[in-house]
Amino acid sequence: MKIIIVGGVAGGATAAARLRRNDEMAEIVLVERGQYISFANCGLPYHISGTIQEREQLLVTSEETFTDRYRVDVRSHTEAIAIDRKAKVVRLRDLATGDESDEAYDKLLLSPGAEPLRPKLPGIDSARVFGLRNIPDLDRIMSHLSQHSARRAVVIGGGFIGIEVAENLHEKGISTTLVEGADQILAPLDYEMAAIVHSHMHDKNIELYLSNRVERFEDKDDYTLVYLSNGRRLQADIIILAIGVHPETTLARAAGLELGATGGIKVNAHLQTSDPDIYAVGDAIEITQTISGKPALIPLAGPANRQGRMVADNIVFANSKEYKGTLGTAILKAFDLGAASTGLNEKQLLAADVPFLSCITHSGSHASYYPGAKQVSIKLLFNESGEILGAQAVGASGVDKRIDVIATAIHAGLKIDDLTELELAYAPPFSSAKEPVNMTGYVASNILNQSVEVIDWRELRDKLESSDTSLQLVDVRTAAEFEFGSIPTARNIDINHLRDQLSELDPKLPLVVFCQVGIRGYLAYRLLKQRGFT
């Protein structure tokens, strides 16, 4: 059997290695347009600051090593320019010489990845404007930084790459501004969770311009002006574009392969395209989002690797495996914080018209009495049947553990009550006896069994802005805490004195009680509810 793989990195290179393990006699040709068949693109931003000191550490394997170990015919600097599906031939072009040749195949795997978005803005071709998608992009950035004295940077885009680049430029000593067109960074998070990261980035002296779009660039002698939609002009010695990617489907489209509604290559459960002899994996394909069951584009390295392995099995073992969809579990380091998500967020659930409930807990990353405990904020989304729809977590420690546990629970079909019963490892340096995942399960269970009613912050804000005088707003923290600031119009009654001051509250008017992280507010709710208050 002869298999041609178009594209290396996560999906293509993984598939090639697995194919060889499956079939020692197969003829495998790996075609890669770039110089490097496999590199750690997720690690690229960390070389800018020197966190990853050696550029070679980003190279997962070399062409020579891959050829020697797997006996794969690797052809770098080679582009697949056309597919003749009837003849089962791929036309290849050697980018060094321009020579073209035809290569026959029995099975073809497309792993072309995604291309960075680059809008046609005036001045975008400036020598100070860069993207960061691969090793050559990184080389150009590092060359510019070494040849010029960069003091000011502008990063455009508040996604994973944008935030990582902003952090590493800052760590390099460059004053950095981040511009984002939406009202928040990190689209996988809901606004209130992203707001924790906003605050932290402000603390790190990263200037944020949210709800702002770049309109044009203008080169000056020794800097470039970035014009924003709000009228501001930012001076920059280097500008990094990180506004997202779109699937690379040029080859597939020209070959007449079916594309999905999202614009990605359409594949079935076996990762076959509309041509049964052509498979596709990675950032270029349209997948099914696990929870919604709807088509989506989720460009992540983990799913691409799993898809590459699965396709290799399906090619050799006659479609023995089915891809069950992508949940979308991801995590980001933003200076001292981790920000992670899995499943669907509130915006996605609303867009899909899926009813949901939610809760947010603020637990310690480990036992409070053991030094170094940090707050972990977890938002859980679920339905009235107790099915878990998604989760987000932000904190300085232990975020990865908690989001992975919840992602595993979703994959296994566990429900809210199951979260309360999970037996998770505990010792004071690592967690708490009341584990944060258990705690978020407890709170969600209380909402489901109506042990507590919650009000969303947006609903409360709207009521306050409408001057709803029927609402009694009570802050049950201590007087000292209250003095540091509270929600406007709130009165302060310490939870420890609440029973003695019930006469100060009107039982005919609804109450909203709150504290700092939730526990005292919950205690106040239970007390007041049993005393006849609404």
Q: DSSP letters along 342-379, please?
A: EE--HHHHHHTT---EEEEEEEESS-TTSTT--EEEEE
Tokens of 311: 């396709």
What is the residue type of 128? Answer: R
Q: How many residues does the chain have?
A: 534
Query: Tokens 């979703």 appear where?
Result: 410
Are 398 and 427 in contact, with CB atoms under 8 Å apart? no
Q: Please name which of 350, 358, 346 lies closest in space to residue 444, comparing C-alpha atoms.
A: 358
Compute and round to an integer the Cα radius of gyration of the chain: 27
Q: Nearest 5 degrees, angle CA 290-CA 160-CA 188?
A: 40
| Neighbour-count burial of 252, counting CB atoms closer than 10 A to its CB (0-12 exposed, 13-18 middle, 19+ buried) | buried
Separation in Å, CA 486 to CA 9, 375, 494, 496: 51, 20, 13, 18
Alpha carbon distance 246, 268 (integer Å): 20
- Among 22, 23, 42, 59, the one annotated catalytic: 42
Tokens of 27: 């003829």
- Can you give 460-524 as a three-state secondary structure string? HHHHHHCCCCCCEEEECCCHHHHHCCCCCCCEECCHHHHHHHHHHCCCCCCEEEECCCCHHHHHH
Phi/psi-derived region of residue 118, left when phi > 0, alpha when psi is between -120 and 50, beta in every other case? beta
Q: For residue 43, count other CB atoms closer than 10 A to its CB.
A: 15
Q: Please name which of 461, 447, 445, 463 lies closest in space to residue 510, comparing C-alpha atoms.
A: 463
Whether residue 515 lies in the annotated active site: no
Give catalytic residue positions: 42
